[in-house]
Amino acid sequence: MANIPNILLIYTGGTIGMVKDYHTNALKAFNFNQIKEKIPELNLLDCRIKTKFFDKPIDSSNMSLKYWVKIVDIIENNYDKFDGFVILSGTDTMSYTASAISFMLENLNKPVIFTGSQLPIGDLRTDAKENLITAIQIAGTQVNNKPKIVEVCLYFEYKLYRANRTTKISSSQFNAFHSHNFPPLGESGVHLAFNESLLHKADPNKNLIVRKRIEDNIVILKLFPGITKQVVQSILNITGLRGVILETYGSGNAPTDKWFIDLLKVSIKNKVPIVNVTQCINGSVLLGYYETSSILKEIGIISGKDITTESAIAKMKYLLGEGILFKDFKAIFEKPLRGEMSY
């Protein structure tokens, strides 16, 4: 007998949850308790939908560690009651949040699908309805009464992505997200089509572990031509700094000036891990491929390989929060933990 999936819809805030008051033209919050009345197409889905929302929905620009913990708390407290979860949030920081949640949920064996929209749900040309309906449909897709998707994903504009591979690429187009270094896990056309070979396979013998200890005191250091010693020094000397994401050129290249290398050496000596990620929208860090990255490899800079900046931040926060020792940090970071980088 087929199981009718129970899906929990979690609204954190963002454009997708807004409707226009046509008397005042002002945007107001959408009542997700009335979701099936407002979007009757959801009644066609073969699943039961329950809703839960933040007491005070937030703009995604205000997303922070405490809200990440709040999201995983909701999932943890409802994990045994539901077959899948759809999380609605603002798009501006969705890739950061979805990446973080992927690391915070270990041994996940149910779908967690992030989505949102570029236009409010009440707009005439909104993308909200399609994104929402299909995200719920994906979360409810089962094979032999088992979820098809067992990882954290992001669905937007007909594409299903591994969440920790995504980047927001547009503030004005409906195809606002892309996964530059990893193919989509699925596409929505006349039918839902999944890329079977790419889907994560869950271990049914492992129980969900929720990781809530996240380190917040890290920084991104983005290189640019003419960056000064004073700028780099002020960033690396931040009191209590625990980790650095170094955004380099091309395949991981950086200035070879002695002052620059010496500052990096001091941070590494002080047991502050530095992860090298590329500023390019696709491609990988290849430490040592060019002379300008060889010295970085020699002094112990960690290769981010083809990880996104968003995912690198989330991964570093997670590993530091878990208390990974500095001597082990490089080996652990350079291995894929949730499919966030290639081997």
The answer to whether position 340 is within a domain reads no
The tokens 């899906």 sit on which residue?
Answer: 7
The answer to whether position 284 is within a domain reads yes
Q: Residue 28 has what pLDDT?
A: 75
In the DSSP assignment, the letter for residue 309 is H
Q: Do 12 and 82 share a domain, yes or no?
A: yes
Say how many C-beta atoms besides its own lie within 10 A of residue 289's C-beta: 15
The answer to whether position 338 is within a domain reads no
Answer whether 293's CB lies under 8 Å from 287's CB: yes
Answer whether 36's CB lies under 8 Å from 139's CB: no
The answer to whether position 339 is within a domain reads no
Q: Are strands 302-303 and 209-210 parallel, antiparallel or unpaired?
A: unpaired
Which segments in the chain show pLDDT lower than 70? 1-2
Partners of 105 in the β-ladder:
210
Q: Do 190 and 283 share a domain, yes or no?
A: no
Of 210, 242, 259, which closes a domain?
A: 210
Q: Give φ, ψ of 255 to 5 degrees.
A: -60, 150
Q: What CATH number is given to the structural domain containing 329?
A: 3.40.50.40
Of 210, 240, 274, which closes a domain?
A: 210
Q: Do 152 and 267 share a domain, yes or no?
A: no
Q: What b/e readout covers 78-94, taking b as 16+ CB neighbours within 10 angstroms? A: ebeebbbbbbbbbbbbb
Q: Residue 2 has what pLDDT?
A: 65
Count CA atoms within 13 Å of residue 35 on its CB side: 23
The answer to whether position 341 is within a domain reads no
Count CA atoms within 13 Å of residue 21 on its CB side: 7
Q: Do 226 and 98 share a domain, yes or no?
A: no
C-alpha 209/C-alpha 79 separation (Å) is: 11
pLDDT in tens, 303-321: 999 999 999 999 999 999 9
C-alpha 125/C-alpha 135 separation (Å) is: 18
Catalytic residue numbers read: 15
Sign of CA dihedral 150, 169, 72, 56: negative
Q: Do 205 and 310 share a domain, yes or no?
A: no
Q: Do 35 and 163 share a domain, yes or no?
A: yes
Q: Do 250 and 115 share a domain, yes or no?
A: no
Which domain does 180 fall in, by range?
Answer: 6-210
Q: Do 196 and 228 share a domain, yes or no?
A: no
Of 210, 237, 271, which closes a domain?
A: 210
Sign of CA dihedral 316, 321, 322, 326: positive
Q: Do 280 and 162 share a domain, yes or no?
A: no
Q: Which residues contact 261 (CB under 8 A, 6 or more apart)?
A: 295, 299
The answer to whether position 343 is within a domain reads no
The answer to whether position 176 is within a domain reads yes
Q: In 3D, which of 6, 13, 177, 198 has the Cα closest to residue 99?
A: 177
Query: Considering its fold, how many domains does the chain have in total?
Result: 2
For the packed helices 309-321 and 326-333, what is the interaxial angle rounded to 10 degrees? 140
Q: What CATH number is given to the structural domain containing 47?
A: 3.40.50.1170
Q: Do 200 and 314 share a domain, yes or no?
A: no
Q: Do 65 and 160 share a domain, yes or no?
A: yes
The answer to whether position 134 is within a domain reads yes
C-alpha 328/C-alpha 227 separation (Å) is: 31
Q: Do 170 and 280 share a domain, yes or no?
A: no
